[in-house]
Amino acid sequence: MENVLFEEKDGVMFVTINRPKALNALNSATIEELGEVIDGIEKRKDIKVVIVTGSGEKAFVAGADIAEMHVLNAMQGRELARKAQKVFSKIEHMPQVVIAAVNGYALGGGCELSMACDLRVASEKAKFGQPEVNLGILPGFAGTQRLPRLVGKGIAKELIFTTDMIDAKRAYEIGLANKVVKHEELMIETEKIARKIMSKGMFGVSLAKAAVNDGMNMDTESAYKYEADMFGLCFSTEDQKEGMEAFLNKRKASFKNF
Give me the residues that bind ligand DAK (CB under 6 A), please. Answer: 22-23, 25, 62-67, 69, 77, 80-81, 105, 107-109, 131-132, 135, 140-141
> Using CA atoms, how far apart are residues 194 and 186, in angstroms rounded to an integer?
12
Q: Are strands 166-167 and 179-181 parallel, antiparallel or unpaired?
A: unpaired
Rounded to the nearest whole angstrom, what is the least distance from the CB of residue 160 to ligand DAK in the complex?
A: 12
Is 173 a catalytic site residue? Answer: no
63 or 201: CB nearest ligand DAK: 63
What amino acid occupies position 176?
L
> Using CA atoms, how far apart are residues 36 and 179, in angstroms rounded to an integer?
29
59 or 211: CB nearest ligand DAK: 59
| Residues in CB range of 185: below 8 A, 6 or more apart | none
Of 33, 92, 112, 191, catalytic: 112
Rounded to the nearest whole angstrom, what is the least distance from the CB of residue 109 to ligand DAK in the complex?
A: 4
The neighbour count for residue 216, using CB atoms within 10 Å, is: 9
Q: What is the largest CA-CA distance in the chain?
A: 65
| Residues in CB range of 165: below 8 A, 6 or more apart | 107, 127, 128, 129, 131
Span between the terminal Cα atoms of the chain, in Å: 33
Rounded to the nearest whole angstrom, what is the least distance from the CB of residue 136 to ligand DAK in the complex?
A: 10
135 or 150: CB nearest ligand DAK: 135
15 or 23: CB nearest ligand DAK: 23
Of 33, 92, 132, 191, catalytic: 132
> Using CA atoms, how far apart are residues 114 and 54, in angstroms rounded to an integer?
11
Rounded to the nearest whole angstrom, what is the least distance from the CB of residue 77 to ligand DAK in the complex?
A: 4
What amino acid occupies position 49?
V
89 or 254: CB nearest ligand DAK: 89
Rounded to the nearest whole angstrom, what is the least distance from the CB of residue 206 to ligand DAK in the complex?
A: 29
Is 132 a catalytic site residue? Answer: yes
**What are the residue numbers of the active site?**
112, 132
